[in-house]
Structures are given as structure tokens and as C-alpha cells.
Chains A and B, each alone.
Chain A
Amino acid sequence: MRLTALAILVGATLMATPAMAAWRGYISHPLGFSFSAPGELKVEKGTYRGALAGARDTLVYSFVDDDIEYKVVVIDMSDKANDAATLLGEAEYIFQEDKKVLMDTFGRVDRQFGRKLTIDLPNNAGRATAAFYFINGRIISLQATVLPANGDYDSPETARFVDSIAFFTVRAPDDAIELPAPPK
């Protein structure tokens, strides 16, 4: 009787909990960073435009799990790397422009200073937390967006993702997966 009750309880708990993908470590030796994310990796190309940066292609590593979008966006700025501080400031500014800012604070990882921001997206489209760094001529931005379908805007998963960035390869997990090269 006790065993049956326990089995029912365990079964009910498992049914009530959404399927959560395991978190895995990823690393790019050519780009010089590593991070952790759940779900299936997709490699995409995107675009970015800033008054200073101009129009840029971006490389995006994206994941979706439990109605949270995880993205690592890499923007090559090597031709304007001497304007690193202002290019990074512009990217941070664009991220939060015309949005409700909930957090705007220092990001500090492996001798790199950047910025971490949390914003509410317009029209109740979700809540995004992002970190921005400029290293080796590139803007590296990690962005995690809790979609309305998830609803838990205080989910710790977004912070887990943006705080997983590392620029010292020695900090990457031993079993980190090497990120594929960008699509041509």
C-alpha cells in the first residue's frame, strides 16, 4: 500500500514537472570563450546595426528549453577594435533602448569588464537578461529570454546561462563540446 502511494506520488511529480534538458558545456577555441546551455544547439547567422558599428553579420549559437531562449551572439568588430569601449556601450544601449530596465550592473569575468542587464520586453513578450563583453575584437553577448509561455520571470536559469561565460579556456568543463564553425 505504501509502495503504491509512493509510486503514484513520484509519477504525479514527474508528470507535473516540464521536461528539462541537461545542461552541457560548449567551447570555441578560435573565438576564445566557453559557456553552458540546455537544449539543442543551433548555429545561425544574424544581423546587427549600430550608428557607430554600422551593419554587421552576427554569429548566433541558440538554444530553446522550457520556453526560455538562450543565445550567444558574436559580432566581429576587429576592423574597429580601437573603438572597443564605445562599440560595447552602443550595443548595451541598443539592447535596453525603449525598454523597461530592471537591472543594469557590472559584469566581471576572467579579467574582462562588461555589463549585465535585465529588461522587460515590450507588449509582455518576456523578460531578457544579457551580458555584454568585448574581447579579441569581438562583442560577445549572452542573452536569455524567458518567454510568456514559461511565465517564471524570476527563473534562475537565465542567470545560470549568462554567468556561465568564461574567457579562460582552463575554466571550461573537460567534456565541453567544441562549437562548430559559422555557416558560410
Chain B
Amino acid sequence: MRRWMSAALAGAALMMTAMPAQAAWKSYINRQLGFSFMAPGEVKTDVGNFRGAIAGPRQTIVYRSVEDNIEYKVTVMSFLQAQAEGATLLGERQYMFQDRKTVLMDTFSRVGSGKDAVYGRKIVVDLPDNKGRTTGVFYFTKGRLISVEATVLPAKGSFASPDPDRFINSIAFVLSHTEPGAVELETPKLE
């Protein structure tokens, strides 16, 4: 009996080592830009570029991590001088996200409730050439367009992971709800 139990324990230990290591999820906050989110892995800050017919060329701030073959990305664009155009800028961003891709879901999304509510959209697409599946949510609030995207890469093997939803549902704009000890994100200077 003891031998049998030892074998079972050893087997379980072997399985554990064979499974990919899962990083802990941490909370991140950027008080200057007014949002917080949760993500696994090491979140790196970068500067990127975006171009839309209406938005024009924009520099973006990107917070990105990759964990267990899922890429997690929060992209921020500032439109402080064009806040009244927010609906169209948001629509353009959403349209570009799904353009020429297979749309699996396109529905309302909302962060907060009542007067604190921010309405956006949640869209799930399959990327061309079997490059993976991306879940994105898009919001425009306080002059900033915020995209939260999680891409399950083909190496992951299955699109059934709940982690993309966990990531995109973690975005918050009322910072008082952010858990204590959240990692403060830096805001890179844009040109």
C-alpha cells in the first residue's frame, strides 16, 4: 500500500514538473493615466505606434507581458484635445481590431456601474494564418483610448483558457477598488 502511494505521489510530482510554470497574477496601477489591471508574468513598458484614418498617427504606451503562450497587452492612446470625438475614435479602433479577421464575438462591455460606468466593446477574433485568438476590450475615458488585449498563441495549443477573460475583466477606472500593494506602472514620455 505504501509503495503504491509513493508511486502515486511521485507520478503527481512528475506531472507537476511537466506542466508549464504559471506565474502569479499581480495588480498593476497607473494613477496618472487612471486605470489598473491584473496580469501574470513580468509586465514591461514600451512605446508603440498607431495610425487610423480619423485618429491619425499616434504614439502609444504599451504595457505587455507574456505568460504560458498568452500575450497580455494594455495600450493607451491620448486624445486629450479630442475628447468630444471619443465615440468615433473608439469606433475606429474597434473596427480596425476586427477588420479582415474572423469575428467570434462582438458585444457590449462595461466597467463600473451607475455614474461611474464606462461603456465599451468586447471583441474576440481569430487572427489570420492561424496566428492565435485575441480577446480585446476597448474603452474611451477621460481623453484616453484604452485597449486591453489577450492573445492566445498557437503554441498554447488550446483556446479554452479562462486567462484572457480574467485579464480583460480586471481593467478598472475607479482606482479606489484596486487592491493594496498594486505595482505602480511608469508612464514613459512620448515625443
Contacts and interface: CB of A to CB of B under 8 A. Distances in A.
Contacts of B181: none
B120 A106 contact: no
A71 to B, nearest CB: 20
Given A51-B117, A92-B108, A93-B108, A85 B54 contact: no
A85 B89 contact: yes
A111 B88 contact: yes
B107 interface: yes
Contacts of B86: 82-86, 134
Main secondary structure of the interface of A (DSSP, over half): mixed
Contacts of B115: 51-52
A178 B92 CA distance: 30
Main secondary structure of the interface of B (DSSP, over half): mixed
Contacts, number: 87
Interface residues of B, number: 31
A113 B95 contact: yes
Given A51-B114, A133-B87, A137-B84, A85 B119 contact: yes
B88 A90 contact: no
A89 B89 CA distance: 13
B85 A89 contact: no
Contacts of B140: 84-86
Contacts of A137: 84
B119 A86 contact: yes
A89 B113 CA distance: 13
B121 to A, nearest CB: 8
B94 A106 contact: yes
Interface in A76-131: 81-90, 92-93, 104-106, 108, 111-115
B87 A84 contact: yes
B87 A85 contact: yes
B89 A93 contact: no
A52 B117 contact: yes
Contact of A89 (B53, B83, B95, B120): B120
Contacts of B54: 111, 113
A108 B54 CA distance: 12
B134 interface: no
Interface in B61-114: 83-92, 94-95, 106-108, 110, 113-114
14 contacts: A82-B142, A83-B83, A84-B140, A85-B141, A86-B117, A86-B118, A86-B141, A89-B121, A93-B110, A108-B91, A113-B92, A115-B91, A134-B88, A135-B88
